[in-house]
């Protein structure tokens, strides 16, 4: 081999060692960086008479199956977190049975106040207490109902934010596809662009779980797990119109709330079978259109049962048929046909409320009484108490058809909300464990700093050997030049 060939070989070896050292140092520096793919330098012997080595490319290592599993796990965790948060807030709105401010406790206090007033109907303070306890029940139902609608509004706004984020990130992935293709054609290192694209797709997958399909020139196409096309060369555009205010009767099925369109075509938002199912976006729709609507229906059933017990025909002889009872629908007779949202409108009849010009003695003498009656007459108060404690069939809600007292329905609903919260937390725990394990598996397949240190030592040795060749060639050339003088 000529000195020139030896020199060329040594220089190519130094170049390869330098590039390898850069890649190893990058691996070690990013060993804890989320989404970083371990790099290797691909080397190739030069197909020339003199030999040597050339750097072909920087290869990024990332196991697609592990990445896909982590994305699915993170999507499930995000969805379950949103659902669990809803159920936690819902339980707080109605209270737990052991709380003095819970719906069940307020109903028990109301029933106790009726019994107390019936024992001494002549004491105005006890009649006033019945009114206060009745008002506490209606405020509790009103507050819980408003809280549910607030969560629907929040979910609706979150949908809008998620759709906007999806559109932005899909465009960014498309742009990275172009940059990666151009960089690869120019034989540049595009590993950092791969990292960025993978991170973006991971963020998209948390909102809507996606399947990644490889395309020519290192590009990718994205489809939802339900089959909707998001990106394949061109980017799909998602559209959603949020509502500024949501009231109980407003639903997507009724045409009063927006769904989602992809490129102008309506798509199903069904949390079980829709093309956008499985991620945080699907959870937001589930909260807005399913979970919250169901919770409102349960509260409406409680409000209806309580109101109808207090306005039954013949209960109060002083009120005509069709007149409002002790509990009203915003002052009017409670009509079963207008049950939706009743919990948000239920109120105590103004004729017994001193703060609204009424008088509490009407609880004793009749809501429609023109004058006071005998102060010792407790018949109506006893009828009110009996109406609460009597067993009857619930007319609506998840417990429709069951026969029990008024307080039992409130207890059943409260227990149902608590059970749903517990079930949601268990699902969240499972999803969180799954996501953590997926991340651990992916990290184990990532940068091993011990291995990288071993590689660095070998690179150092190779660099030193090539440098020694350079030094030897230099010495030989100096000797030759000296001999020619």
The distance between the two most distant Cα atoms of the chain, rounded to a whole number of Å, is 140
Q: What is the pLDDT of residue 33?
A: 75
> What is the pLDDT confidence band of residue 49, given thresholds at 50, 70 and 90?
low
Reported pTM? 0.87
- DSSP structural state of residue 7: H
Check: CB of residue 447 under 8 Å from CB of residue 28. Answer: yes
The yes-or-no verdict on residue 5 having pLDDT over 80 is no
> What is the pLDDT confidence band of residue 1, given thresholds at 50, 70 and 90?
low
> What is the pLDDT confidence band of residue 100, given thresholds at 50, 70 and 90?
confident
Q: What is the pLDDT of residue 485?
A: 65
Check: CB of residue 284 under 8 Å from CB of residue 158. Answer: yes
Alpha carbon distance 132, 16 (integer Å)? 85
Alpha carbon distance 9, 472 (integer Å)? 13
The yes-or-no verdict on residue 108 having pLDDT over 90 is yes
Structure tokens at 390: 């009597």
Going along 134-276, which residue ranges are E strands? 210-215, 219-224, 229-232, 234-235, 238-239, 260-262, 265-267
Residue 410: helix, strand or coil by DSSP? Answer: helix
Average pLDDT rounded to a whole number, residues 100-107:
93
Alpha carbon distance 218, 226 (integer Å)? 24
Q: What is the pLDDT of residue 48?
A: 64
Greater confidence (39 vs 361) lies with 361
- DSSP structural state of residue 17: H
Greater confidence (92 vs 59) lies with 92
Q: What is the pLDDT of residue 476?
A: 84
Q: What is the mean pLDDT of the chain?
A: 90
- DSSP structural state of residue 351: G
Structure tokens at 93: 């709105």
Q: What is the pLDDT of residue 50?
A: 66
Greater confidence (90 vs 17) lies with 90
Q: Which of 24-38, 302-316, 455-469 has the lowest mean pLDDT?
A: 24-38
Average pLDDT rounded to a whole number, residues 107-128:
95
Going along 264-369, which residue ranges are E strands? 265-267, 327-329, 346-348
Identify the burial level of 64 via C-beta atoms within 10 angstroms of its C-beta, where 0-12 means exposed, 13-18 middle and 19 or more buried.
exposed
The yes-or-no verdict on residue 346 having pLDDT over 80 is yes
Q: What is the pLDDT of residue 216?
A: 87
Q: What is the pLDDT of residue 329?
A: 96
Alpha carbon distance 401, 301 (integer Å)? 12
Would you give the distance in Å from CA 182 to the centre of its chain?
37
The yes-or-no verdict on residue 381 having pLDDT over 90 is yes
Q: What is the pLDDT of residue 414?
A: 95
Q: What is the pLDDT of residue 411?
A: 94
Average pLDDT rounded to a whole number, residues 310-320:
91
* Phi, psi angles (nearest 5°) of residue 213: -115, 130
Q: Which of 32-46, 71-85, 120-134, 309-323 has the lowest mean pLDDT?
A: 32-46
Greater confidence (6 vs 280) lies with 280
Contacts of 245 (CB under 8 A, 6+ apart): 153
Average pLDDT rounded to a whole number, residues 313-326:
91
Q: What is the pLDDT of residue 44?
A: 82
Alpha carbon distance 100, 307 (integer Å)? 22
Q: What is the pLDDT of residue 8?
A: 79
Express as a percent the part of the chain with pLDDT over 90: 66
Alpha carbon distance 277, 287 (integer Å)? 13
Query: Which phi-psi region, left, alpha or beta, contains residue 66 (left: φ > 0; alpha: ψ -120 to 50)?
Result: alpha
Cα separations (Å) of 27 from 31, 195, 200, 269, 302?
6, 13, 21, 42, 61
The yes-or-no verdict on residue 57 having pLDDT over 80 is no
DSSP collapsed to 3 states, 39-99? EEEEEEECCCCCCCEEEEEEEEECCHHHHHHHHHHHHHHHHHHHHHHHHHHHHHHHCCCCC
The yes-or-no verdict on residue 432 having pLDDT over 80 is yes
Residue 234: helix, strand or coil by DSSP? Answer: strand
């Amino acid at each position: 081999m000529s000195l020139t060939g030896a020199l060329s070989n040594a220089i190519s070896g130094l170049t390869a060692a330098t590039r390898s050292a850069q890649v190893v140092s990058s691996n070690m520096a990013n060993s804890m960086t989320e989404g970083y793919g371990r790099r290797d330098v691909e080397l190739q012997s030069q197909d020339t008479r003199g030999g040597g080595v050339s750097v072909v490319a920087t290869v990024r290592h990332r196991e697609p199956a592990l990445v896909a599993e982590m994305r699915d796990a993170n999507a499930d965790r995000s969805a379950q977190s949103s659902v669990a948060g809803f159920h936690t807030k819902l339980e707080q709105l109605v209270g737990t049975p052991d709380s003095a401010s819970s719906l069940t406790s307020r109903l028990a206090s109301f029933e106790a106040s009726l019994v107390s007033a019936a024992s001494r109907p002549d004491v105005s303070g006890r009649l006033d207490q019945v009114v206060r306890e009745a008002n506490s029940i209606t405020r509790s139902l009103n507050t819980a109902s408003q809280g549910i609608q607030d969560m629907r509004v929040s979910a609706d706004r979150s949908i809008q934010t998620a759709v906007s984020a999806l559109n932005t990130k899909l465009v960014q992935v498309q742009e990275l596809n172009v940059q990666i293709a151009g960089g690869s054609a120019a034989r540049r290192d595009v590993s950092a662009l791969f990292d960025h694209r993978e991170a973006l797709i991971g963020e998209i997958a948390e909102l809507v779980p996606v399947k990644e399909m490889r395309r020519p020139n290192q590009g990718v196409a994205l489809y939802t797990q339900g089959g909707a096309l998001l990106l394949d060369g061109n980017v799909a555009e998602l559209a959603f119109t949020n509502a500024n205010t949501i009231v109980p009767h407003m639903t997507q099925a009724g045409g009063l709330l927006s769904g989602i369109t992809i490129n102008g075509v309506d798509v199903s938002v069904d949390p079980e079978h829709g093309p956008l199912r499985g991620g945080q976006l699907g959870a937001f729709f589930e909260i807005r259109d399913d979970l919250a609507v169901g919770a409102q229906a349960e509260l409406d059933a409680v409000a209806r049962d309580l109101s109808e017990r207090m306005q039954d025909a013949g209960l109060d002889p002083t009120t005509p048929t069709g007149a409002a009872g002790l509990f009203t629908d915003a002052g009017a007779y409670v009509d079963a046909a207008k049950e939706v949202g009743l919990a948000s409108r239920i109120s105590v009849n103004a004729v017994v409320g001193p703060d609204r010009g009424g008088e509490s003695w009407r609880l004793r003498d009749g809501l429609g009484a023109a004058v006071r009656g005998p102060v010792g007459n407790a018949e109506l108060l006893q009828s009110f108490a009996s109406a609460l404690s009597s067993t009857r069939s619930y007319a609506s809600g998840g417990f429709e058809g069951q026969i029990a007292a008024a307080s039992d329905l409130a207890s059943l609903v409260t227990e149902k909300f608590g059970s749903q919260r517990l079930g949601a937390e268990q699902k969240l725990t499972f999803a969180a464990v799954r996501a953590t394990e997926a991340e651990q598996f992916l990290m184990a397949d990532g940068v091993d700093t011990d291995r990288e240190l071993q590689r660095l030592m070998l690179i150092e040795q190779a660099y030193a050997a090539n440098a020694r060749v350079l030094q030897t060639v230099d010495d030989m050339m100096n000797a030759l030049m000296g001999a020619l003088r």
